[in-house]
Amino acid sequence: MLRLAIITAVLLGTISQVHAQYDEVKKKGGRVLPLSQADDRVEISYHLSSDEITDANLQPLVGLEKVYAINLRGTKVTNAGLASISKLESLTRLHLEKTEIGDEGLTHLSGLKNLEYLNLYATKVTDAGLSSLEGLTKLKKLYLWESGVTKAGVEKLQAALPELEIIAGFEEPKPAAEEPKPEEKPAEEKKPEEKKPEEKKPEEKKPEEKKPEEKPAEEKKE
Q: What is the mean pLDDT of each run of 10 residues along the chain (222 residues)?
A: 45 65 96 94 92 94 96 97 98 98 98 98 98 98 98 98 96 55 60 62 59 55 48
Return the pLDDT at 51: 81
The answer to whether 123 and 96 are in contact (CB under 8 A) is: yes
Domain ranges of the chain: 33-167
Return the pLDDT at 19: 86
The answer to whether 42 and 32 are in contact (CB under 8 A) is: yes
The answer to whether 146 and 121 are in contact (CB under 8 A) is: yes
Q: Where does 33-167 sit in CATH, by number?
A: 3.80.10.10
- Among candidates 86, 53, 92, 51, which has minimal Cα distance to 72? 53
H or E, element range at 8? helix 2-27
- Predicted model pTM: 0.72
